[in-house]
Amino acid sequence: MKKIFVVSFFALLFTACEKDEVIDPKAYSCNFDFVDNSASHPKAQQYQAKLDEIVKKGTVGIMMSVYHPNSIQWLGASGKADISNNVPMQPCMISRMGSTIKMFTATVTMMLYDENKINLDEKIAHYLKGSYIGKIQNAETATIRQLLQHSSGIYNYIQNPKFQTASMNNLKKEWHAEDLMSYAYNQDAYFASGTDVRYSNTNYILLGILIEQIEGKPLHEVFEQRIFKAFGMTKSLFASKNPVPHNIVRGYIDLYSNFKITESTYFSGWDYYTADGGLISNPYDMSLFFQKLMNGEVVNPKLLAEMLTWKTPHEQDPDFFPIEYGLGIFKMKTPKGDVYYHSGDAIGYYANMIYITSSKSVIVYAVNSNYGKLDEWVSTKKAIENILETVW
């Protein structure tokens, strides 16, 4: 949930691409540290056929995990991880997961709350004294809880046309927190804090700064210690530790909405250092985390209940499911029932993690291609319905 570019505008400012890298396919070699019994899953053929169908529609590559509490976990993949070097996608590979990191950022914030290091209902300005607070409307009044729930009203820097132009004019630039926040300076707030909900990446940049300040460590160390190592996410890292790992699957975009794709692996520099993006992982690790979170194994049930306290926006997107906002988690109302979820994208990457409340099942999928005509089978209401219909 971080998409910023209208592709036709993107195309106008796009700079010439460099030649594809020559990468030894062995660099992508990976495996799980457990016995993968996916082939014996009773719906293995059905799930694999769905991934193959999505690739046939134009998606470059896809990985997916399907977990049901009373069945074997299924892990699968289809398509290519790297077109130029002819590397097939495998479910153990790593990809960029974009804004799904917000669920992890919210979880770490709840941990700090549980340890009495912060108060969720205290203003963020009580903890952060940087000059940026006075330059961002509502930053002096919004509480930590309101930042977590996107009810702060703070302007979303990504929506600033000046940021879009600057980022597209230098697609490989690596952005840091204050670079990004500067595009929220002196912008009108959407509403008075606490009166509505509206998605804003700026909220989570501020939360990332808070986490670093309270912990006295860079974000990549905090996430590694509190989340990845603690919950067995062996393939996961925060991008600032290694912004473009040698074995990350290549990213691709449908630049001109004609299925003629362009590689974009190095074009996500605002997703490296801040807590509104930056997760590199795979569907298995993310499914593992979501399972444990919903089972009360990550934060205690009382805190989880706070995360699952919902606010409904005054306006809904008519082209998507009705949604409600929790703390780092969304609730989506589908024809089959409610699901909790968080999605995320970067230039050339999209991921979605979904928890089906009725069955306690978890679906996570990640693709290495988006924008243009590709989104129809990746991130739209139609795309999500297509996947839910198969695995519900």
How would you write the chain as a 3-class SS string?
CCCCCCHHHHHHHCCCCCCCCCCCHHHHCCCCCCCCCHHHCCCHHHHHHHHHHHHHCCCCEEEEEEECCCCCCEEEEEEEEECCCCEECCCCCEEECHHHHHHHHHHHHHHHHHCCCCCCCCEHHHCCCCCHHHHCCCCCCCEHHHHHCCCCCCCCHHHCHHHHHHHHHCCCCCCCHHHHHHHHCCCCCCCCCCCCCCCCHHHHHHHHHHHHHHHCCCHHHHHHHHHHCCCCCCCCEEHHHCCCCCCECCCEECCCCCCCCEECCCCCHHHCCCCCCCEEECHHHHHHHHHHHHCCCCCCHHHHHHHCCCECCCCCCCCCCCEEECCCCEEEEECCEEEEEEEEEECCEEEEEEEECCCCEEEEEEECEECHHHHHHCCCHHHHHHHHHHHC
Average per-residue pLDDT for the chain: 94
User: Distance (Å, rounded) from C-alpha 50 to C-alpha 218?
Assistant: 40
pLDDT digits (tens, 9 = 90+) for 157-203: 999 999 999 998 999 999 999 999 999 999 999 999 999 999 999 99
The pLDDT of residue 384 is: 96
Is 315 domain-assigned? Answer: yes
The pLDDT of residue 3 is: 52
> Which pLDDT band, with edges at 50, 70 and 90, does 213 fall under?
very high
The pLDDT of residue 18 is: 47
> Which pLDDT band, with edges at 50, 70 and 90, does 86 fall under?
very high
User: Distance (Å, rounded) from C-alpha 382 to C-alpha 57?
Assistant: 13
pTM of the model: 0.95
Question: Looking at the predicted structure, is the pLDDT value of residue 7 above 90?
Answer: no
Q: How many domains does the chain have?
A: 1
Is 158 domain-assigned? Answer: yes
Is 83 domain-assigned? Answer: yes
Token readout for 151 is 């009810």
Is 154:136 a contact under the CB 8 Å cutoff? Answer: yes
Average pLDDT over residues 94-108: 98
pLDDT digits (tens, 9 = 90+) for 18-31: 457 899 999 999 99
Is 264 domain-assigned? Answer: yes
Weakest-pLDDT range from 7-21, 218-232, 270-284: 7-21
pLDDT digits (tens, 9 = 90+) for 239-269: 999 999 999 999 999 988 888 899 999 999 9
| CATH number of the domain residue 148 falls in | 3.40.710.10
pLDDT digits (tens, 9 = 90+) for 129-149: 999 999 999 999 999 999 999
* Rg of the chain (C-alpha set): 20
Question: Looking at the predicted structure, is the pLDDT value of residue 12 above 60?
Answer: no
User: Distance (Å, rounded) from C-alpha 1 to C-alpha 99?
Assistant: 6
Share of the chain above pLDDT 90, in %: 91
User: Distance (Å, rounded) from C-alpha 285 to C-alpha 46?
Assistant: 22
> 95-96 and 349-356: which strand pairing?
unpaired
Is 12 domain-assigned? Answer: no
Domain residue limits at 110: 27-391
The pLDDT of residue 60 is: 98
Question: Most distant CA pair in the chain: distance in Å?
Answer: 58
Is 4 domain-assigned? Answer: no
User: Distance (Å, rounded) from C-alpha 48 to C-alpha 104?
Assistant: 29
User: Distance (Å, rounded) from C-alpha 89 to C-alpha 82?
Assistant: 8
Is 210 domain-assigned? Answer: yes
User: Distance (Å, rounded) from C-alpha 201 to C-alpha 277?
Assistant: 9
Question: Looking at the predicted structure, is the pLDDT value of residue 44 above 80?
Answer: yes
Question: Looking at the predicted structure, is the pLDDT value of residue 73 above 60?
Answer: yes
The pLDDT of residue 9 is: 41
Contacts (Cβ under 8 Å, ≥6 apart) of 26: none
The pLDDT of residue 256 is: 85
pLDDT digits (tens, 9 = 90+) for 300-310: 999 999 999 99
> 369-370 and 252-253: which strand pairing?
parallel
More confident site: 3 or 73: 73
Is 333 domain-assigned? Answer: yes
